Chain A
Amino acid sequence: MYAFTFHRPQTVRQAAGLLTKNGDAKLLAGGQTLLPTMKLRLAGPPQIIDMTLIEGMSGIEQSGRTLTIGAMTTHNEVNTSPVVQQAAPVLAKLAGMIGDPAVRHRGTIGGSIANNDPNADYPAACLGLGATIVTNKRRIKADEFFTGMFSTVLEPAEIITKVIFPLPKKAAYQKFRNQASRFALVGVFVSKRGSEIRVAVTGAGSNGVFRVKSFEEALKKRFSPKSLEGMTIPADGMNSDIHGSAEYRAHLVGVLARRAVAEAIGKPAA
């Protein structure tokens, strides 16, 4: 690790002010990506702005058919929250599949979304549920938020404060892990809310999380794994590396989508 100046603002406004003043500063929300890269000296931000003293940044609240999760809420809190388990069990389960217990007790939803790791789970949940990401400046729809690998529409001094999830009627997340890192080699999130069907894929795409419109259209006719039978997506644009070819990833998107739909409607996976 390189030396850095450690800031501990008390308010979001102070944090944003520090970000404006220090162009190279990094927010520390949970640090589960940032700190390992700093330890390896792959990153050396001169300023670290710790978010933990800012009040009101974490917590879970249900209001009607929406669930609001504070940006600093840890994966473990989401995983074990009775509110989430009741209102959106898919989210509780997804949070429990992130990393290991140490990661889940430190990593936060805001940190994960802002980082937009192409293999992370939360971006799939946001896109797969049509979440709204709330920042200190505006409200952003998930469909507009994620712009590519490790990139989002967040502006330099913009800070995520909470994420609002509309509650689905049916939803499931299927994650096929990279054997080494345990991140999603491919993860597919499906949801049905009224007539809105969403299929979001993480891990597979070389440009980060994406929706599969062809699958969504097929599922609109009937929300059943049978609707996706034989369907696949092109290997173009899929990641290809030592862990799996583009063809394998494209194939897994179909397999996991069918399994996710089966899980969502309460049928055992084929």
Chain B
Amino acid sequence: MSGTGIGAAVRRKEDQRFITGKGHYTDDINRPGQAFAYFIRSPHAHATIKSIDAKAASAMPGVVAVLTGAELATDKIGNLICGWMIHSKDGSPMKMAAHPALASGKACHVGDPIAVVIAETLPQARDAAEKVKVDYAALPAVADPAAAQKSGAPQIHDIAPNNTIYQWHLGDAKAVDAAFKSAKHVTKLDIVNNRLVPNAIEPRAAIGDYDSGAGTFTLWNTTQNPHVARLVIAAFVGMAPEHKLRVIAPDVGGGFGSKIFIYPEEVVALWASRRVGRPVKWVAERSEAFLADAHGRDHVTHAEMAFDADGKITGLRAKTVANLGAYMSTFSSSVPTYLYATLLSGQYEIPHIYCEVDAVYTNTVPVDAYRGAGRPEATFVVERLVEVGAREMGQDPAELRRKNFIKNFPHQTPVIMTYDAGDYNASLKKAMELADYKSFAKRKRESARHGKLRGIGLSTYIEACGIAPSQAVGSLGCGVGLWESAEVRVNPTGSVEILTGTHAHGQGHETTFAQVVSERLGIPIENVLVVHGDTDKVQFGMGTYGSRSGAVGMSALVKALDKVEAKAKKVAAHLLEAAEGDIEFKDGKFSVAGTDKSAAWGDVSLNAYIAHKFSGAELEPGLKEGAFYDPTNFTFPAGCHICEVEVDTETGNTEIVAWTAVDDFGVVVNPMIVEGQVHGGIAQGVGQALCEGAIYDKDGQLVTGSFMDYAMPRANHLPTLTVDTTMTKCPSNPLGIKGCGEAGAIAAPAAVINAITDAIGTENLAMPATPATVWAALQKTGMPRAA
């Protein structure tokens, strides 16, 4: 064992480069002769584009070209697509409106790209952009999802009457109705899951580079899934044949889902490069990112939970309107359906669940997956219902949860999922001990003495990660398979390159994937190079999102390592002049059973390549293997987060004074990295609960269009976090991994809101629970102000 294997908290190999400014991001890449792109974006939420006059702009200094949707159509560049087909209750397919990379005829949201200026320098492109005259005729706009379906609402796309994309449902409505009829207690909640702006540190960027000699395209792009980008841009947009398009995702500075999708700007960069015969570079400004990157969440839900006389949950029903924005982004349709309603059983044995989801168009930035994607929304619904139900029935919220926990596995929920393994009571128990739950009343009295209201909130969440198997997701409408690939290339000197179809944009794969190799081959992680993010190097892969890289990507790696080991044993058998069946491999050493004969890893790898000990008829030289791995099920990380807050009744300010997270991620490859993922996830969840919220005004203008108005979570929003784990192995993959990337963001919002509502004594509290919001809620309770 090398000390850098599975379970070792080794430091991240990539951090030296990142923290010393040696990372290599898209904006660090400059191509000879490159020109710069600047997009002209609609200032209107909804407007007819009557004409675009680029004459004056084209004559500006340094301008290479001004391109519009008209040229895009002339060149027969296809539309962007949503790759997950959802059918409505009535069997009709979702109403996917045309989404050209440059809007033509009509602008549908503020920030909708209308034209692009290509110039020698970026300032020249910006100067010229101001001279492009776009004649808009403003149309009435709708931004609020709850208003989009009302009669008289502005109609955004002809294909979708009442702006309705689909009316989907899941579950057995009749059985649920019966459960509610016989319920002893029903808890009802109206919930708004607030719209979020992702805001990765690195803004999106793209460089398109067309080689007219070879007829090939290269796209450097801030993407979480370069192969999917290549596939969509080739097969659907028709920008380039797949084999002549290379997509490179170099270092990428955060994604959180927002860099999964195929956006207009990268298509335009490629197209413009072919048009002008030069590389074309675009880098988003932060203000531009607010208007151009897919937002997250934005659900309006009415939900009800039925309980019997013992406090057992007998049914759950929810009606959700999901705002998908002005166009259907790449995976937008799946988020409020199969990534949401399928998780409404939470950690609980709920016999009957029914969920209806209407997805609507509005004149806002498209909405798609954002850290957790559907699962934070589901968790918020379930965990608020359980908490409020307990309070209404006068039961301890922890006890009510325990009473309803699923205890036997596998467990089939009424909403598709088969939970494979878990011990929800174990994580609840450990979290309650770590949080000193039983002494809360004492702490509450202590806070009251300081004039503060103290509250405690639980969130026993579940998520489904590593979305798969491909056959299953295909049957649910997904346009792609969700397997993963890996290739292991052993060099003659014994060092190893592994190629993975996943992509790291902050997760630390260069370390964790190397740890898996280190564990298996007994070599230090320094001798392992992880290659990803280049379609010319990695043959194919599905990228990174949905906490899938460990559960799916590493499983593919294990499969490839199996093959490498098998081949290496053949080589070792020749080298050690023994029967293949007698070769044992352990801790990086091949030995012959029952003898003292052995060969080191490096000897075997060298012999695989010099091939002096076997003939070509006996064995192929070389040591390189690949594998594709398709999981047999989702994975189901789960856990318990407990948040404790103090509310200042005079200002409405909430301070999170304690946080305990106990998660079951299955087998953990690197506990330090996992802890970091949990920290980051909690911070994002706390951001949603306390301060983040994209606000559109009634005209469809984004009021929170910069950090002056959009509040990101800060270090001072968080206490020192107590993070621990419990472990049940995931039975469906070889390493037993469940995934950890989204858990914090999924668990946190409900924990925070449960804690604040516990403190202030009213359930009527919207996210984000800003000081002003909490103060306003307090005014309605008539609660005496603390002295």
Chain A interfacial positions (CB closer than 8 Å to B): 1-2, 40-41, 176, 178-181, 242-245, 248, 251-252, 255, 270
Q: Which residues of B contact A270 (CB under 8 A)?
A: 451, 787
Contact of A40 among B287, B451, B690, B770 (CB under 8 A): B287
Are A248 and B709 interface neighbours, CB within 8 A?
Answer: no
Are B707 and A180 interface neighbours, CB within 8 A?
Answer: yes
Please measure, in the bound complex, the distance between the C-alpha atom of A243 and the C-alpha atom of B9, giving whole angstroms: 42
| A252 to chain B: closest residue by CB | B651
Are A180 and B709 interface neighbours, CB within 8 A?
Answer: yes
The answer, yes or no, to whether B704 is at the interface (CB within 8 Å) is: yes
Are B770 and A179 interface neighbours, CB within 8 A?
Answer: yes
Question: Can you give 9 contacting A-B residue pairs, CB < 8 Å?
Answer: A40-B287, A180-B708, A181-B708, A242-B709, A244-B771, A248-B772, A252-B651, A255-B650, A255-B651
Q: Which residues of B contact A181 (CB under 8 A)?
A: 707-709
Are A251 and B709 interface neighbours, CB within 8 A?
Answer: no
Are B287 and A243 interface neighbours, CB within 8 A?
Answer: no
Please measure, in the bound complex, the distance between the C-alpha atom of A62 and the C-alpha atom of B726, giving whole angstroms: 62
Are A243 and B651 interface neighbours, CB within 8 A?
Answer: no
Q: Which residues of A contact B652 (CB under 8 A)?
A: 248
Please measure, in the bound complex, the distance between the C-alpha atom of A178 and the C-alpha atom of B708, giving whole angstroms: 9
| A258 to chain B: closest residue by CB | B650
Are B710 and A180 interface neighbours, CB within 8 A?
Answer: yes
Are A176 and B287 interface neighbours, CB within 8 A?
Answer: no
Please measure, in the bound complex, the distance between the C-alpha atom of A178 and the C-alpha atom of B772, giving whole angstroms: 10
Q: Which residues of A contact B650 (CB under 8 A)?
A: 255
The answer, yes or no, to whether B691 is at the interface (CB within 8 Å) is: yes
Query: What 0/1 pattern do residues 443 to 456 of B give for CB contact below 8 A with A?
Result: 00000000100000
The answer, yes or no, to whether B170 is at the interface (CB within 8 Å) is: no
Q: Which residues of A contact B710 (CB under 8 A)?
A: 180
Please measure, in the bound complex, the distance between the C-alpha atom of A41 and the C-alpha atom of B285, giving whole angstroms: 13
Query: What 0/1 pattern do residues 731 to 757 of B give for CB contact below 8 A with A?
Result: 000000000000000000000000000
The answer, yes or no, to whether B175 is at the interface (CB within 8 Å) is: no
State whether A41 and B126 are in contact (beta carbons under 8 Å apart), knowing that A179-B770, A245-B776, A248-B772 are contacts in the complex: yes
Q: How far is the CB of A268 from chain B (nearest CB, A)?
A: 9
Are B787 and A243 interface neighbours, CB within 8 A?
Answer: no
| A181 to chain B: closest residue by CB | B708
Query: What 0/1 pattern do residues 318 to 336 of B give for CB contact below 8 A with A?
Result: 0000000000000000000
Q: Which residues of B contact A179 (CB under 8 A)?
A: 690-691, 711, 770-771
| A256 to chain B: closest residue by CB | B651
Please measure, in the bound complex, the distance between the C-alpha atom of A7 and the C-alpha atom of B168, giving whole angstroms: 64
For B287, B710, B770, the residue with the greatest tally of chain A CB atoms inside 10 Å of its CB is: B770
Q: How far is the CB of A137 from chain B (nearest CB, A)?
A: 34
Q: Which residues of A contact B703 (CB under 8 A)?
A: 242
Please measure, in the bound complex, the distance between the C-alpha atom of A242 and the C-alpha atom of B690, giving whole angstroms: 14
The answer, yes or no, to whether B775 is at the interface (CB within 8 Å) is: yes
The B contact surface, by secondary structure, is: loop
Please measure, in the bound complex, the distance between the C-alpha atom of A248 and the C-alpha atom of B710, giving whole angstroms: 19
| B123 to chain A: closest residue by CB | A1
Are A180 and B711 interface neighbours, CB within 8 A?
Answer: yes
| B450 to chain A: closest residue by CB | A268
Chain B interfacial positions (CB closer than 8 Å to A): 123, 126-127, 287, 451, 650-653, 690-691, 695, 703-704, 707-712, 770-772, 775-776, 787
Please measure, in the bound complex, the distance between the C-alpha atom of A178 and the C-alpha atom of B695, giving whole angstroms: 16
Are B451 and A242 interface neighbours, CB within 8 A?
Answer: no
Given A242-B703, A244-B772, 18 other A-B contacts at CB below 8 A? A1-B123, A41-B126, A176-B771, A178-B711, A179-B690, A180-B704, A180-B709, A180-B712, A181-B708, A242-B695, A243-B709, A244-B771, A248-B652, A248-B776, A252-B651, A255-B650, A255-B651, A270-B787
Interchain residue pairs A-B with the least CB separation, the first 10 = A180-B711, A179-B711, A244-B772, A181-B708, A255-B650, A179-B691, A248-B772, A180-B709, A242-B695, A180-B710
State whether A243 and B708 are in contact (beta carbons under 8 Å apart), knowing that A41-B126, A270-B787 are contacts in the complex: no
Are A245 and B691 interface neighbours, CB within 8 A?
Answer: no
Please measure, in the bound complex, the distance between the C-alpha atom of A270 and the C-alpha atom of B651, giving whole angstroms: 12
Q: Which residues of A contact B775 (CB under 8 A)?
A: 248, 251
| B695 to chain A: closest residue by CB | A242
Q: Which residues of B contact A1 (CB under 8 A)?
A: 123
Please measure, in the bound complex, the distance between the C-alpha atom of A176 and the C-alpha atom of B707, giving whole angstroms: 17
Are B126 and A243 interface neighbours, CB within 8 A?
Answer: no
Please measure, in the bound complex, the distance between the C-alpha atom of A176 and the C-alpha atom of B651, giving whole angstroms: 9
| B709 to chain A: closest residue by CB | A180
Are B707 and A243 interface neighbours, CB within 8 A?
Answer: no
Q: How far is the CB of A260 from chain B (nearest CB, A)?
A: 13
Please measure, in the bound complex, the distance between the C-alpha atom of A255 and the C-alpha atom of B775, giving whole angstroms: 12
Q: Which residues of B contact A244 (CB under 8 A)?
A: 771-772
Contact of B770 among A243, A252, A255 (CB under 8 A): A243
Q: Which residues of A contact B787 (CB under 8 A)?
A: 270
Q: Which residues of B contact A178 (CB under 8 A)?
A: 711
Please measure, in the bound complex, the distance between the C-alpha atom of A252 and the C-alpha atom of B653, giving whole angstroms: 11
Q: Which residues of B contact A180 (CB under 8 A)?
A: 691, 704, 707-712
Please measure, in the bound complex, the distance between the C-alpha atom of A238 and the C-alpha atom of B653, giving whole angstroms: 20
Are B651 and A245 interface neighbours, CB within 8 A?
Answer: no
Please measure, in the bound complex, the distance between the C-alpha atom of A243 and the C-alpha atom of B772, giving whole angstroms: 7
Q: Which residues of A contact B711 (CB under 8 A)?
A: 178-180
Q: How far is the CB of A150 from chain B (nearest CB, A)?
A: 15
Q: How far is the CB of A179 from chain B (nearest CB, A)?
A: 4
Q: Which residues of A contact B653 (CB under 8 A)?
A: 176
Q: How far is the CB of A26 from chain B (nearest CB, A)?
A: 19
Please measure, in the bound complex, the distance between the C-alpha atom of A251 and the C-alpha atom of B707, giving whole angstroms: 25
Please measure, in the bound complex, the distance between the C-alpha atom of A52 and the C-alpha atom of B703, giving whole angstroms: 36
Please measure, in the bound complex, the distance between the C-alpha atom of A41 and the C-alpha atom of B776, giving whole angstroms: 37
Q: Which residues of B contact A242 (CB under 8 A)?
A: 695, 703-704, 709
Q: Which residues of B contact A176 (CB under 8 A)?
A: 651, 653, 771
Q: How far is the CB of A156 from chain B (nearest CB, A)?
A: 28
Please measure, in the bound complex, the distance between the C-alpha atom of A244 and the C-alpha atom of B775, giving whole angstroms: 10
Q: Which residues of B contact A243 (CB under 8 A)?
A: 709, 770, 772
Please measure, in the bound complex, the distance between the C-alpha atom of A75 and the C-alpha atom of B651, giving whole angstroms: 27
Q: Which residues of A contact B708 (CB under 8 A)?
A: 180-181
Please measure, in the bound complex, the distance between the C-alpha atom of A40 and the C-alpha atom of B290, giving whole angstroms: 14
Q: Which residues of A contact B707 (CB under 8 A)?
A: 180-181
| B649 to chain A: closest residue by CB | A255
Q: How far is the CB of B262 from chain A (nearest CB, A)?
A: 28
Please measure, in the bound complex, the distance between the C-alpha atom of A40 and the C-alpha atom of B776, giving whole angstroms: 35
Q: Which residues of A contact B709 (CB under 8 A)?
A: 180-181, 242-243
Please measure, in the bound complex, the distance between the C-alpha atom of A248 and the C-alpha atom of B127, giving whole angstroms: 43
Please measure, in the bound complex, the distance between the C-alpha atom of A140 and the C-alpha atom of B131, giving whole angstroms: 44
Q: How far is the CB of B457 from chain A (nearest CB, A)?
A: 20
Please measure, in the bound complex, the distance between the C-alpha atom of A2 and the C-alpha atom of B652, giving whole angstroms: 43
Please measure, in the bound complex, the distance between the C-alpha atom of A189 and the C-alpha atom of B217, giving whole angstroms: 62
Q: How far is the CB of B288 from chain A (nearest CB, A)?
A: 11
Q: Which residues of B contact A248 (CB under 8 A)?
A: 652, 772, 775-776
For A179, A245, A255, A270, the residue with the greatest tally of chain B CB atoms inside 10 Å of its CB is: A179
Please measure, in the bound complex, the distance between the C-alpha atom of A57 and the C-alpha atom of B709, giving whole angstroms: 34
Q: Which residues of A contact B776 (CB under 8 A)?
A: 245, 248
Please measure, in the bound complex, the distance between the C-alpha atom of A114 and the C-alpha atom of B711, giving whole angstroms: 27
| B713 to chain A: closest residue by CB | A179
| A248 to chain B: closest residue by CB | B772
| B712 to chain A: closest residue by CB | A180
Please measure, in the bound complex, the distance between the C-alpha atom of A180 and the C-alpha atom of B690, giving whole angstroms: 11
Q: How far is the CB of A115 from chain B (nearest CB, A)?
A: 15
| B648 to chain A: closest residue by CB | A255
Q: Which residues of A contact B451 (CB under 8 A)?
A: 270
| B707 to chain A: closest residue by CB | A180
| B652 to chain A: closest residue by CB | A248
Q: Which residues of B contact A41 (CB under 8 A)?
A: 126
Please measure, in the bound complex, the distance between the C-alpha atom of A248 and the C-alpha atom of B123, giving whole angstroms: 43
Please measure, in the bound complex, the distance between the C-alpha atom of A156 and the C-alpha atom of B133, giving whole angstroms: 35
Please measure, in the bound complex, the distance between the C-alpha atom of A179 and the C-alpha atom of B8, giving whole angstroms: 39
Please measure, in the bound complex, the distance between the C-alpha atom of A248 and the C-alpha atom of B653, giving whole angstroms: 12
Q: Which residues of B contact A251 (CB under 8 A)?
A: 775
| A2 to chain B: closest residue by CB | B127
Q: Which residues of B contact A245 (CB under 8 A)?
A: 772, 776
Q: How far is the CB of A15 from chain B (nearest CB, A)?
A: 28
Please measure, in the bound complex, the distance between the C-alpha atom of A252 and the C-alpha atom of B771, giving whole angstroms: 11
Q: Which residues of A contact B127 (CB under 8 A)?
A: 2
